[in-house]
Chains A and B, each alone.
Chain A
Amino acid sequence: MSLLLSLNNIHSYYGHIHALKGISVDVHKGEIVTLIGSNGAGKSTTLRTISGMMHPKEGSIILNGKDISKMEPHDIVLAGLGHVPEGRGIFPKLTVKENLEMGAFTVNDQKVIEERMEYGFSLFPRLKERVGQYGGTLSGGEQQMLAIARGLMLNPDILMLDEPSMGLAPVLVELIFDIIETLNKKGTTILLVEQNALMALSIAHRGYVLQTGEIVVSDSAANLKQNTMVQKAYLGMD
């Protein structure tokens, strides 16, 4: 499998706070890789650093063979990265359709935009019913669907999902995770950040465990589920 995204010894700061202390993560083409860890471990910070919303002080981020660590978010998007941010980032006063159009802002071909929109609707038929509605009026689950559909509008090589299960009813969490698996089977590489470690490890191929800005364990998902430290800290087992 070829290496799609690779973080090498990344250090990121919020002001003086040393948030990421030398993170190295590899994602191969076709994988689902998950980052698990508790609140404040640095999971979202890792994604924000990858997508250019913050820049690392040290280290390199290679996407498709290109160093993106100093690029701006809108250029990184063009390099093939989709980021569904924490809290979904739906534009509340744009309609569902306009939200999706924004996802394809850099695409000029109207036909391509429509095709991808239809693809999104085929994954989430519910969105089609809501197409003229403002994003802010959707339920949490619908917003998450919209955020994922929007993230797919640029047909990214790798889609990063930040806490897709946050605030959703269990049945919706199942639905969203089913879709993530489907997407992966259709060829999209996934980097998934989750607090719901059990769900994340059930669909992921490999996982990294973060603690206070450092990776403490990395292994295949199956092995992580058997790891006593992981079981104790993140899976709620004694």
Chain B
Amino acid sequence: MNRFFLSINVRELVRPLGQLTLFSLGSAAALSIIVLIMALVLDQTIIGETLTEKLNVSLYTYTLINLPQVVLDGLTIGFVYAAIALGYTMVYGVLEFINFAHSEIFAVGAFVGVEILIALDQTGMLRNASLGMAYVFLIFAILAGMAAAGALAVTVERVAYRPLRGAPRLVPLISAIGVSFLLQDVIRLVEGLTTGDFNRIFPTFGNFDQRIIFGKLALGSTNLTLGVSIKSLIVIISAVLMLVGLNYLVNATRIGKAIRAVAQDRPTASLMGINVNRIISITFLVGGLLGGAAGVLYALKFTRIDPFVGFFPGLKAFAAAVLGGIGNLTGALLGGIVLGMLETFAGSYMGVFTMGAAGSEYKDIFAFSILIFVLIFRPQGLMGENVGQKA
């Protein structure tokens, strides 16, 4: 027992926590400064005047008072993106291949988790559950979503990618896109046949929808309650646990070292007695587990899911992975957090800054503009190294 504790590498547990805090605070601070400066400037214009007329508050005060809430929301979605982005980036690191079916792995995780909860709900167990049992059910749903997504990811690799291992790079990519469409339609088919409805709603139970209120702030003639919903907290805490766990797996365990060795030089890794195919399967498994958990957490946070639920989060997480430097785990964390934060800031402030001309429905512009700008000006991403293409 003692030996076991001695062998835990504390540094690898603390380091990712530090990185997550740094990335969160850093991106929150940078974006806050930008919107506050914009608010100060726009305050003197007709935009500020209109807001003062409507809410009896200056644009600057409005922006400042909304900030804590925006940052919290940004963090929540940012951590979800980071968890999905890790799936893309791990597979890319090992195979130099973008697994475009990862968004559907995420969706399958979400569906399995939600369907289990709906089934439990129909037996009445959820409604009568004590608070403790509600959390047990939620954790069970998350674990089931992870297991299903992990198993699916391993299967997809075995069936659709491994036979194409020696083929030109474009071939497995096209296979991945095919798998992505296939899985979307399989979800639709299964849901259509079994429930007749492929919009599924996360059941209401436990205390997840409640908000912890920190206080009220006066905002002109109205009051603004400052708080955080319990489900956002659950998302943040679970994501942090997963991200720290993954970092530990990759950096401080034997399997993790083997994953890195296979990523750096596959033929030589096999000469070390490492079963390369098994390591690749493990990589897909880990990516799938994270994606599946992210799926259930996403459903918890946004309540409604449909067979295409994976598309946008998947694409944004891909953008996040590219932003951070694809193949780089720390980069995926950074990219996910920055992207989630940016999107939430844009969604929250764009409406009021443009007097309602461009509302939060345009927030996706930011995620994908970033993708384009990164590809043009820093194709290796924020934390990536310029390694060039491997043969």
Contacts from A to B (Cβ < 8 Å) = 51-53, 72-74, 77-78, 83, 85, 89, 91-94, 98, 101-103, 105-106, 150, 154
Contact = CB atoms under 8 A, between A and B. Distances in A.
A51 B272 CA distance: 11
Given A89-B268, A105-B273, A154-B273, 7 more contacts: A53-B271, A74-B276, A91-B268, A91-B269, A101-B257, A102-B258, A102-B261
B44 interface: no
B272 A93 contact: no
Interface in B247-276: 254, 257-258, 260-261, 264-265, 267-276
Given A91-B260, A91-B261, A94-B261, A102 B272 contact: yes
Contacts of A73: 267, 270-271
B264 A77 contact: no
6 contacts: A78-B273, A89-B265, A91-B265, A101-B257, A102-B272, A105-B258
B382 to A, nearest CB: 18
Given A93-B260, A94-B261, A102 B267 contact: no
B270 A53 contact: yes
A208 B85 CA distance: 53
Contacts, number: 59
Contacts of B264: 91-94
Contact of A53 (B260, B267, B273, B274): B267
Q: Which 3 A-B pairs have the closest CB atoms?
A: A89-B268, A73-B270, A77-B273
B275 A74 contact: yes
Nearest to B269: A102
Interface of B: 254, 257-258, 260-261, 264-265, 267-276
Nearest to A147: B268
A94 B254 CA distance: 12
A53 B265 CA distance: 13
Nearest to A106: B273
A53 B272 CA distance: 12
B271 A51 contact: yes
A105 B272 contact: yes
Main secondary structure of the interface of A (DSSP, over half): loop
A78 B273 CA distance: 7
B274 A89 contact: no
Contacts of B270: 52-53, 72-74
A85 B267 contact: yes
Contacts of B275: 72, 74
Contact of B271 (A89, A93, A94, A101): A89
B99 to A, nearest CB: 22
A31 to B, nearest CB: 22
B284 to A, nearest CB: 18
B271 A77 contact: yes
A102 B272 CA distance: 6
A94 B261 CA distance: 7
Among B257, B260, B273, B276, max chain A CB count under 10 A is at B273
A169 B254 CA distance: 35
A83 B272 CA distance: 9
Contacts of A101: 254, 257
B188 to A, nearest CB: 40
Contact of A89 (B260, B267, B273): B267
A102 B276 contact: no
Contact of A83 (B258, B260, B269, B271): B271
A53 B268 CA distance: 9
Nearest to A95: B257
A157 B330 CA distance: 41
A52 B276 CA distance: 13
A74 B268 contact: no
A83 B261 CA distance: 16
B72 to A, nearest CB: 36
A44 to B, nearest CB: 12
Among A52, A53, A73, A85, max chain B CB count under 10 A is at A73
A103 B261 contact: no
B329 to A, nearest CB: 12
A101 B260 CA distance: 13
B119 to A, nearest CB: 43
B57 to A, nearest CB: 53
Contacts of A93: 260, 264
Contacts of A83: 271
B261 A74 contact: no
Contacts of A106: 273
Contact of B272 (A52, A72, A77, A92): A77
A222 B121 CA distance: 85
B257 A94 contact: yes
Among B254, B271, B276, max chain A CB count under 10 A is at B271
Given A53-B267, A89-B265, A94 B274 contact: no
Contacts of B261: 91, 94, 102
Contacts of A102: 257-258, 261, 269, 272, 274
A87 to B, nearest CB: 9
A162 B260 CA distance: 24
